[in-house]
Structure 1
Amino acid sequence: MMDDRNALLSHQTFARAIEFIWREAELLDRRDYREWLDLWDPSGHYVVPIDPNTTDYAATLNYAYDDQDLRQKRVQRMTSGYSASASDAARTVRTVSRFTLASDSADGVEVKSSQIIIAYKRGASTIFAANLTHKISMASGEPRLVEKVIRLIDSTDALSAIGFLL
């Protein structure tokens, strides 16, 4: 009976994590970056690596490797109206799917998924595709992002027009 209970709790936690990831995607599409900041655990990292295989983000070059301070500064730039990415930001629609529970514990889960973003700006649409990893803490009772890794499928090519959060 205990195994059934653990399986049920694991399933419920996984479902909550998926809902949380979808909520994050909606906030980003609405450009509600300040509310997006509230999803994060203070110790969390937002990572967009260049090397598709790296796991040591601190020791490699990344498009983004943001701790709490850098996430707040990035959002400030994007919402201030003074940067090109803020004044002419792309409108986005993202789809997140193919959810896989990579690991779970009493404190949280790691969920792998795929993401397609269509970004529309100045009459042109651009597609961004990525594999995502969300590490989500459930320790406080409310989900909090501990780490989000966005592995763009074309990360080693020259990328432009990433004036928004992935």
Structure 2
Amino acid sequence: MTVHVPVLTGAPTDQQLIDFVVREARMIDQQRFEEWLELYTDDAYYWMPLEWGQTDPKLTCSLMYEDKLLLKIRVERLKGNRTFSQKPKSRCHHVLQVPQVDRRDEAANEYVTWTPMHYVETRFDDQKLYAAWATHTLTVIDGQIRIKLKRVDLVNCEAAFGNIQLFM
């Protein structure tokens, strides 16, 4: 199911940025991972800090700090027939508060949103609930909004976690 997204002719409105963030979560929930991956710029990162207030993903350990290549490998693993940890497949559900546009820098073509959320991941009878804030650093390329950085800060980031199979 592909959702038609109009080509932007100028800077995105706040509502277009908010709609983008909501659509991105829906793609994950619907396991449209290849389409979701297309939302990322070629030099994008998906970051989940390990420490509260962490400012550098390279000098401090992170739960995840993945470039587009690593994200692509994870997507391939999720759809693989030999990925026994995904038989049956994990499913997830995002409950988002309304995303807020924190910064607009049209000259730099950079827009930042902040979204409080709850995220549920389930497989068999195991269900995990996470509370987090997602910060999207967005840009517009060829009239389409794209993700340069998605940072997911877990409220209890210092806790011991099992495997997080999907994407928050």
Q: TM-score normalized by structure 2?
A: 0.85
User: 2: CA distance between counterparts of 1:111 and 1:50?
Assistant: 21
The residue type paired with residue 164 of structure 1 is L
**Counterpart of 1:138 in 2: which secondary structure?**
strand
In 2, Cα distance between equivalents of 1:164 and 1:50: 17
Q: Residue 58 in 1 paired to residue 80 in 2?
A: no
Number of equivalent positions: 157
Is the 1:108–1:137 Cα contact (8 Å) retained in structure 2?
yes
Larger mean CA deviation between 42-51 and 84-93 belongs to: 84-93
- Structure 1: runs of 5 or more not aligned: 1-8
Percentage of matched positions with identical amino acids: 22
Residue number in structure 1 paired with 2:140: 138
**Alpha-carbon distance in structure 1 between the residues aligned to 2:159 and 2:145:** 34
What is the aligned partner in structure 2 of residue 102 from structure 1?
A: 102
Cα deviation for residue 118 of structure 1 reads 2.0
Structure number with the higher helix fraction is 1
> Which residue of 157, 160, 166 corresponds with 1:158?
160
Evaluate the alpha carbon distance shift between residue 81 and residue 55 of structure 1 in structure 2; reply closer, same or farther with a 3 A threshold. farther
What's 1:4 paired with?
A: none
* Distance of 2:165 and 2:85 partners within structure 1: 5
Cα shift at 1:85: 4.0
Distance 1:13 1:138 in 2: 12
Give the one of 105, 126, 132 matched to 2:128. 126
Partner of residue 3, structure 1: none
Letter in 1 for 2:156: D
Equivalents in 1 of 2:129, 2:118: separation in Å?
7
CA contact (8 A) 1:78 1:85 kept: no
**SS of residue matched to 1:103:** strand
TM-score, structure 1 normalization: 0.86
Would the aligned equivalents of 2:99 and 2:113 in 1 still touch at CA under 8 Å? yes
Residue 100 of structure 1: how far off its partner (Å): 2.3
Distance 2:122 2:53 in 1: 29
Question: In the alignment, is the contact (CA less than 8 A) between 2:21 and 2:99 conserved in 1?
Answer: no
Preserved contact between residue 111 and residue 135 of structure 1 (Cα < 8 Å) = yes
Question: Can you give the 5+ residue segments of structure 2 that lack an aligned partner in the other structure?
Answer: 1-9
- Please give the alpha-carbon distance, in whole angstroms, between the structure 2 residues aligned to 1:89 and 1:162: 13
